[in-house]
Amino acid sequence: MIRKVIGAILALSITFLAILAIWAFSPPSVPHYDISSEPDAIARGEYLVSAGGCVSCHEGSDGGLSGGLAIESPFGTFYASNITPDPSTGIGDWSGQDLVRAIKHGRSPDGSFYYPAFPYRAYAGISDDEALDIAAWLMAQEPVSNQPPEHELPAWVMRWQMAGWNLLADWNTPELPEYADPIIARGAHLSRNLGHCGECHTPRNALGISDMGREFAGGEMSDGHVEAIDADALANWSEEDLALFLFIGLKPDGEYVGGKMEPVIEHNTGRLTDEDRQAMAAFFKRGL
């Protein structure tokens, strides 16, 4: 009798693990989408690319988004990919479905996993329409033939492990609040999703998973500590201080920001509308 019970438990466990593995490894279902060539979609995409900080990582030595930037991490060195519409080394032969799946779900057209050096977990919160507008702008750019280097990773870091990593990250992420104030809600979307501020400013555990219980409490990068931008850290900043900082990088003490935040101001927040920068400021002051 005991043997039968143990056998049943093992069978159920194996079945559960098999179902979990199939679910984790199966590419997410995304509808078929066409990529628009309409000027309005391209214009919206240009703005979203700025809001999403794409240039800060993907800009190549030629000035286009041909990739090659080295991103150092405790898990090795990752190189930003070429996201110009070059068919051989970039995204030129990708469909709208491919791009939505890549941006929001971290999966390549062949179904393989992206490493979370690409902030797909933050981008998961954008809409399919926003992802398609980004795709419209990307596909309207000049193709650049450039093959970035292969990632330099230790042998124990492999793409298939991202299936389990994504599950653990899901379990570690609490349900975030919805905001009744549309300005704060807009700021949250720009900061948490498009701007993915937490990717650098939120601490991570030993597996590289963001500690959302300490969201924006400061992070670590290969070249040093990343400052906290949570409610405590910004207690002496006004919303006007924050909005001005996001525009030109000027801090309340009269100093200008430097380091890795400088290109974020230049390519990302400095190109937003005044209303969107004010929304981000409202989120950080009144939404946390």
Domains of the chain: 39-160 (1.10.760), 172-286 (1.10.760)
64-70-73-74 Cα dihedral, nearest 10 degrees: 160
Res 8 pLDDT > 70: no
| pTM for the structure as a whole | 0.90
- pLDDT, position 156: 95
For 164-197, letters b (16+ CB in 10 Å) and e give: ebbeebeeeeeeeeebeeebbbbbbbbbbbbbbb
Of 179, 200, 177, the closest CA to residue 268 belongs to 200
Of 258 and 6, which is predicted with more confidence?
258
Average pLDDT over residues 80-96: 97
Direct distance between the N- and C-terminal alpha carbons of the chain, in angstroms, rounded to an integer: 55
Average pLDDT over residues 54-60: 94
The most confident of 4-13, 14-23, 226-235, by mean pLDDT: 226-235
Q: Degrees (nearest 5) of the Cα angle 48, 43, 64?
A: 70
Name every residue whose Cβ is closer than 8 Å to that of residue 134 and which is 6 or more positions away in sequence. Answer: 45, 48, 49, 52, 54, 99, 103
Alpha helices in the chain (DSSP H): 2-25, 39-51, 54-58, 96-105, 120-123, 128-139, 162-171, 182-188, 198-201, 239-248, 261-267, 274-286
- pLDDT, position 79: 98
Condensed to tens digits (0 to 9), the pLDDT of residues 175-224 reads 888 999 999 999 999 999 999 999 999 999 999 999 999 999 999 887 77
Condensed to tens digits (0 to 9), the pLDDT of residues 243-277 reads 999 999 999 999 999 988 999 999 999 999 999 99
Condensed to tens digits (0 to 9), the pLDDT of residues 110-164 reads 999 999 999 999 999 999 999 999 999 999 999 999 999 999 999 999 999 999 9
* Paired tokens of 174: 């609490």
* Paired tokens of 258: 């430097």
Q: What average pLDDT is seen over the chain?
A: 91
282 touches 191 (CB < 8 A) = no
d(Cα 146, Cα 149) in Å, to the nearest integer? Answer: 10
